[in-house]
């Protein structure tokens, strides 16, 4: 059956609600036809990626300006992914003026469209928090995976243009992860490995390594393969944030179930196809992301995905009365930083010489070839540092990252 449109939707497609709405409808209809959706369904929330001018270029900026100038206005709660720079303090990042000007034009276009220019990849930490079974249209792979899996909301992996089209129409094609049958688990992963860290060490990097191991298995089976993960006794919000980013990066995964931890896991029995993940595989994954001589580190970053308040607070304890000796970016949302300011956390971190940077991250900022040897606690950041910026990268725990940052290399 082909895509059926209501009278209202048809009038949008025929341009009776303006050119921006028509373009948005054309995008949704094209996507719906490709994926054989039978209808469009209402959504309640949108997260829009495609914000950094480094990724968008002039063609992307012109598209946004066209949509804004032709009267486009969002109809649902819509937030924005990171841009290519800290909107308020871009000079401290070494961003050049021409880039900053173009980036601000992108932000202005989104503002004109009515998008809330949050510029964070963790919208679920700052109030864009969909409920279980809610239909949404999110782009940004880590946030999509988190929303589908940890929150039990329903979204496909939207691109920037299709997410914007959904924001303007309040609609998305009904296919993929919006449908019950595509949310069933396909393969059971039994995790026979220690993800506890030890001595109170942060465990998010271990979950990043697990995401790489399972993601690589998923990639062999196709991105729509849904993993059902067993024997994880505990996972913090930060662990799940890290895992979502990593499995989405290495496997293209948009949905996982984790027995006893994610909400939909209770509805399913573990699939019969079973893959056991052992400690050796986790160790191999970690070692595969240790590619630099630490003394040569020239760039350190935490906050991929953007740091939570909990992580900021822990980081302040680690950096108290210490001094960092390398370029050290801590990326978080402006909203989390606002609370950190109130708590006195910002002062402690900045007194160390580390930079708290909002609205952007080490991947979408234009820093290609500016550094050579990066250290991070994020498996996703390690992947993109190499693939996009051509840095070498090393994965460490947050505690070890701080140790590396505060050690004075010769
Ligand atoms: Fe977020 Fe940038 Fe990482 S958008 S998930 S901090 S690559």
Q: Can you tell me which atom of ligand 1 is nearest the CA of 303?
A: 6
pTM: 0.97
Ligand 1 center–CA 205 separation, angstroms: 15
What's the CA-to-centroid distance between 332 and ligand 1, angstroms?
A: 10
Q: Distance, CA 112 to ligand 1 centroid (Å)?
A: 24
Lookup: tokens for 27: 């995008």
**Residue ranges around ligand 1 (CB below 6 Å):** 81-82, 121, 142, 245, 304-306, 331, 361, 363-364, 380, 384
Find the 280 Cα to ligand 1 centroid distance in Å. Answer: 28
Ramachandran quadrant class, 81 (left: phi over 0; alpha: psi -120 to 50; beta: rest): beta
In ligand 1, the atom with minimum distance to the C-alpha of 364 is 2
Instruction: Name the residue at shortest CA distance from atom 6 of ligand 1.
Output: 304
Judged on CB neighbours under 10 Å (0-12, 13-18, 19+), 99 is middle
- For residue 352, what are its two tokens? 């160390």
Neighbours of 261 (CB within 10 A): 17
pLDDT tens digit at each of 410 positions of the chain: 689 999 999 999 999 999 999 999 999 999 999 999 999 999 999 999 999 999 999 999 999 999 999 999 999 999 999 999 999 999 999 999 999 999 999 999 999 999 999 999 999 999 999 999 999 999 999 999 999 999 999 999 999 999 999 999 999 999 999 999 999 999 999 999 999 887 778 999 999 999 999 999 999 998 899 999 999 999 999 999 999 999 999 999 999 999 999 999 999 999 999 999 999 999 999 999 999 999 999 999 999 999 999 999 999 999 999 999 999 999 999 999 999 999 999 999 999 999 999 999 999 999 998 999 999 999 999 999 999 999 999 999 999 999 999 998 76
For residue 120, how far is its CA from the centre of ligand 1 (angstroms)? 8
């Amino acid at each position: 059956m082909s895509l059926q449109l209501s009278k209202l939707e048809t009038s949008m497609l025929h341009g009776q609600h303006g050119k921006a709405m028509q373009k948005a409808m054309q995008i949704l209809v094209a996507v719906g036809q490709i994926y054989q959706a039978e209808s469009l369904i209402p959504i309640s929330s949108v997260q829009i990626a495609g914000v950094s001018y480094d990724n968008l270029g002039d063609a992307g900026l012109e598209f946004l300006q066209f949509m804004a100038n032709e009267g486009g206005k969002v109809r649902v709660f819509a937030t924005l992914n990171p841009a290519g720079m800290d909107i308020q303090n871009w000079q401290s990042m070494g961003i050049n003026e021409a880039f900053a000007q173009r980036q601000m034009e992108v932000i202005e276009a989104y503002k004109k469209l009515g998008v809330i220019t949050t510029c964070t990849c963790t919208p679920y930490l700052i109030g864009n928090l969909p409920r279980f079974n809610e239909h949404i249209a999110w782009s940004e792979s880590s946030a999509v995976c988190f929303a589908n899996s940890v929150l039990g909301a329903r979204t496909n992996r939207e691109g920037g243009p299709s997410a914007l089209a959904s924001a303007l129409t309040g609609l998305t094609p009904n296919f993929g992860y919006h449908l019950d049958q595509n949310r069933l688990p396909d393969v059971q992963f039994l995790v026979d490995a220690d993800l506890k860290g030890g001595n109170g060490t942060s465990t998010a990097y271990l979950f990043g390594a697990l995401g790489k191991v399972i993601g690589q298995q998923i990639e062999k089976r196709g991105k729509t393969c849904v993993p059902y993960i067993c024997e994880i006794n505990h996972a913090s919000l930060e662990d799940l944030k890290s895992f979502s980013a990593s499995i989405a990066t290495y496997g293209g995964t948009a949905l996982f179930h984790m027995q006893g931890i994610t909400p939909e896991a209770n509805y399913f029995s573990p699939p019969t196809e079973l893959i056991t993940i052992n400690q050796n595989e986790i160790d191999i994954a970690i070692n595969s992301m240790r590619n630099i001589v630490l003394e040569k580190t020239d760039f350190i970053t935490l906050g991929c995905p953007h740091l939570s308040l909990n992580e900021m607070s822990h980081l302040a304890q680690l950096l108290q009365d210490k001094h960092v000796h390398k370029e050290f970016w801590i990326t978080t949302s402006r909203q989390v930083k606002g609370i950190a300011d109130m708590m006195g956390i910002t002062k402690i971190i900045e007194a160390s010489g580390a930079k708290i940077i909002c609205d952007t991250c080490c991947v979408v900022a234009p820093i290609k070839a500016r550094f050579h040897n990066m250290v991070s606690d994020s498996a996703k950041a390690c992947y993109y540092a190499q693939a996009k910026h051509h840095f070498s990268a090393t994965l460490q725990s947050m505690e070890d990252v701080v140790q590396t940052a505060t050690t004075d290399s010769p």
